[in-house]
A and B are shown apart, each in its own frame.
Chain A
Amino acid sequence: MIKKLPFTCPSCSGLLQVNSLGCERCETAVSGKFDLPPLAKLSSEDQQFAIDFIRSSGSLKEMAQKLGLSYPTVRNMLDDLIQKINKNE
């Protein structure tokens, strides 16, 4: 089972922060308040879109072909993603 990284609070829907990090080898624990990186704050669908976009060398035409969508549809999806990243920062 792939566990999804939660990025929003199940109680108030606010953005979650990382409170502790642990070393699997020596079990050292680091605690503090760390912000999630911008891409980790996105939904798994949005993250997949960003990965596919990078794998397509940033070509919207290639993305459109892969997804079976039109060029403006993919461009609009990318613009939505940019908006979400800007909002989360």
Chain B
Amino acid sequence: MSSTATPKPSLYRSLFNPFLHIAGGTALLVGWTAMLLASIVSYFSKAHFDGAIDIHFGAGGKYGIFLMEQFIAWTSVTAVFYIIGIAFSKSKIRLIDVAGTLAMARLTTLPAALIGFLPVYPVKLDDPMLALTIIITLIPGIWMIALMYNSFVVSTNIRGAKAIAWFIAGLLTAELLSKVLLQYLIPLV
């Protein structure tokens, strides 16, 4: 945003950048509730969010694993993007905004978890429904990445090409971090 003109709510903003209007503690509460609900749904639909931006279907397990996957993914992106924000933003950023908006971005894991109930899973490579299945799975994934990007921009005030570069680098680092954390913490459940 280059002007101080007040952004007006719109459907696009509500779907892709609600953080212009909601951040901090409220966003954290909304996000945590969604993550909790998504973990319950994914336990039954066997949808695993096993990484910062991962979604896999098919394998069952203890409920604690599904809950931990959600929180490890969220903790990883929050830690990485907060460090990037502290290091490269010229604004005085707050952890609660980074954590809250990134938690809210995980609202999309709720519809994503529901996909696991579709009768197309588990998918076979020669299944004619494979392409459709991939598209259905990608929609909430792309939506979550768009929300995470806007969350990063609003909460850290890093914009333009710099924001795109740091977001990609941050997402890859968070993905790696989440995989390491999952490897060590999931056996504890």
In the complex, which residue of chain B has the Cβ closest to the Cβ of A61? B24
* Contact, CB under 8 Å: A69 / B4: no
In the bound complex, what is the Cα–Cα distance between A75 and B85 (angstroms)?
A: 14
The stretch that binds B, out of A4-12, A20-28, A30-38, A76-84, is: A76-84
B61 within 8 A of A: no
In the complex, which residue of chain B has the Cβ closest to the Cβ of A47? B4
B interface residue numbers (CB < 8 A to A): 1-7, 9, 19-24, 27, 90-94, 97, 101, 154-155, 157
* A46-89 contacts to B (CB < 8 Å): 46, 48-49, 67-73, 75-77, 79-81
* Contact, CB under 8 Å: A80 / B3: yes
In the complex, which residue of chain B has the Cβ closest to the Cβ of A52? B4
In the complex, which residue of chain B has the Cβ closest to the Cβ of A68? B21
In the complex, which residue of chain A has the Cβ closest to the Cβ of B154? A72
A interface residue numbers (CB < 8 A to B): 43, 45-46, 48-49, 67-73, 75-77, 79-81
In the bound complex, what is the Cα–Cα distance between A80 and B97 (angstroms)?
A: 18
Partner of A72, one of B6, B90, B157: B157
In the bound complex, what is the Cα–Cα distance between A58 and B94 (angstroms)?
A: 17
Q: Known: A71-B97, A72-B157. Is A45-B3 also a contact (CB below 8 A)? A: yes
Q: Known: A70-B21, A70-B22. Is A45-B157 also a contact (CB below 8 A)? A: no
In the bound complex, what is the Cα–Cα distance between A34 and B3 (angstroms)?
A: 27
Partner of A73, one of B7, B90, B94: B7
In the complex, which residue of chain A has the Cβ closest to the Cβ of B26? A70
Partner of B4, one of A46, A71, A72: A46
Q: List 24 A-B contacts (CB under 8 A).
A: A45-B3, A45-B4, A46-B3, A48-B4, A68-B6, A68-B9, A69-B7, A69-B20, A70-B21, A70-B23, A70-B27, A71-B97, A72-B24, A72-B94, A72-B97, A72-B154, A72-B157, A73-B7, A73-B19, A73-B20, A75-B157, A76-B154, A77-B1, A79-B157
Partner of B155, one of A48, A68, A72, A79: A72
Partner of B21, one of A69, A76, A77, A79: A69
Q: Which residues of A contact B90 (CB under 8 A)?
A: 79
Q: Which residues of B contact A68 (CB under 8 A)?
A: 6, 9, 21
Q: Which residues of A contact B19 (CB under 8 A)?
A: 70, 72-73
Name the distance in Å between B5's Cβ and chain A's nearest Cβ. Answer: 5
